[in-house]
Structure 1
Amino acid sequence: MSKIEQNKEKKRLAILKAAKEIFLAEGYVQTSMDRVASEAKMTKQTLYRYFSSKDVLFEATLRQMGSQTDDKLVVHLQHADTRQALLGFAKDFVLFHLSSEHIATFKLLIAEGSKSPELVSRFMDVGPDDTDRVLAQFFNERFDIEEPQTKIKLWLGMVMSVRDGVLMGMPAPTEQEIAAHVEASTDLLLAALA
């Protein structure tokens, strides 16, 4: 990567960092491109060279946040033991979704979704990416299920039910509590598929 390309990437990352902080602190509607440019320590014109609108910037911010976990999750699915593969995936899936960053993003979408429904659509378009495909492939191979999407949604719904209290301000469960919850949810899935 040339020096010019390195500088461009450095600016792009500075913009995304500033945007993430402001979006999560102030919300999508209240965030202005002027504020992001100021926080990223660059001109508004420079910001617009990288991101043509607030919508484009928001989507890029979501993509960057989501990309931080994809590889880590799918590695678990390579485990030879099906139960262990699912437990590893589910535990890291829950931990990612209980991170303060993800909780703040989810609260932003809940708070502003009625004013700007396109936010939720963008989030859903960005969110489920390669992980969904790999998980479906795993279910196809390990359980011989051709259309596993419903079973995956039901399992992840059980696994993610620990997030509800956190979204309402309750303390996050401990890693031990998460592990026990994930184990119970996964064993229920495995019993249903047996």
Structure 2
Amino acid sequence: MKLSERKRLDILNAARTEFIRHGFAATSMDAIAKAAATSKRTVYNHFSCKDVLFEAIVAQMLEQVFSASALPFSSTEPLREQLVSIARQEIELFEQEEVIALSRVVLAHAMHDGSFTQKVFGSLGEYETGIQAWLRAAHHAGVLRVEDPAMVSEQFIGMLKSFYFWPVIMGIPKGGKAPVKDKIIDSVVDMILFSCGYQAKN
């Protein structure tokens, strides 16, 4: 890794910590430079302003979210087990303290800056998540009926979030214990499979 790339990564890591600790508004470029052990000029060389730096951090998080549900479709592995594995990967991401903390910062900032929401989240529909790719492959294989993988993907992730992610974000965790988590996963997976016309082989 080149020195400039390493420095950029150091700045991103330091900024993420500062934003999580203090929130967007209370975090300054001076504090980020100090935390990254570099000059403010170097920070500005990589990121023109605090907004651009914050957007880069959110982009990192979104990339992590998209890759969390990445699982190649298999025509030989049990279909339900594959979807359960994807659900577990999503919930494991929701459980990460840094993801939870940064999500709270992002939501708080988004409530005060509508332009930020549009800039960061406005183009999400252009990207195909791991679960979308898996659903599309299952459809082409003829084992599921998925006319709109993007919509079914949103339903899948949305149900997991409503049962697990949003309660955690609001400080009222519901899914910490394994039996509860398993129940959530089983319920969501079964609803998605049923809606896509899945019939288990006896």
TM-score band, normalised by shorter chain? 0.7 to 0.9
| Structure-2 residue corresponding to 1:192 | 195
SS, match of residue 52 in structure 2? helix
1:92-121 CA-partner distances (Å, limit 9, x unpaired): 112212321222122223322222223333
SS, match of residue 71 in structure 2? helix
Q: Identity of counterpart residues, as a percentage?
A: 27
Shift of 1:170: 2.4
| Structure-2 residue corresponding to 1:169 | 171
Contact 1:90 1:182 in 2 (8 A): yes
Runs of 4+ in 1 over 6 A off after TM superposition: none
Shift of 1:122: 4.0
Is 2:5 the counterpart of 1:9?
Answer: yes
Report 1:1-194 matches (<5 A). Answer: 5=2, 7-68=3-64, 70-71=66-67, 73-75=69-71, 77-78=73-74, 80-125=77-122, 129-131=127-129, 133-135=132-134, 137-138=136-137, 140-141=139-140, 142-161=143-162, 162-171=164-173, 173-194=176-197
> For the structure 1 residues 100 and 76, does the alpha-carbon distance in structure 2 shift closer, same or farther, using more than 3 Å as the test?
farther
The TM-score normalised by the length of structure 1 is 0.82
Aligned residues: 190
| Separation in structure 1 between the aligned mates of residue 115 and residue 6 of structure 2, nearest angstrom | 29
5+ unaligned residues in a row in structure 1: which ranges?
none
Contact 1:139 1:148 in 2 (8 A): no
> For the structure 1 residues 149 and 72, does the alpha-carbon distance in structure 2 shift closer, same or farther, using more than 3 Å as the test?
closer
> For the structure 1 residues 135 and 52, does the alpha-carbon distance in structure 2 shift closer, same or farther, using more than 3 Å as the test?
farther
> For the structure 1 residues 76 and 177, does the alpha-carbon distance in structure 2 shift closer, same or farther, using more than 3 Å as the test?
farther
> For the structure 1 residues 65 and 151, does the alpha-carbon distance in structure 2 shift closer, same or farther, using more than 3 Å as the test?
closer
SS, match of residue 169 in structure 1? coil
> For the structure 1 residues 112 and 101, does the alpha-carbon distance in structure 2 shift closer, same or farther, using more than 3 Å as the test?
same
> For the structure 1 residues 120 and 174, does the alpha-carbon distance in structure 2 shift closer, same or farther, using more than 3 Å as the test?
farther
| Separation in structure 2 between the aligned mates of residue 131 and residue 118 of structure 1, nearest angstrom | 24
RMSD across aligned C-alpha pairs, in angstroms?
2.6
Contact 1:76 1:89 in 2 (8 A): no
| Separation in structure 2 between the aligned mates of residue 12 and residue 126 of structure 1, nearest angstrom | 24
- Deviation larger for 13-22 or 183-192: 183-192
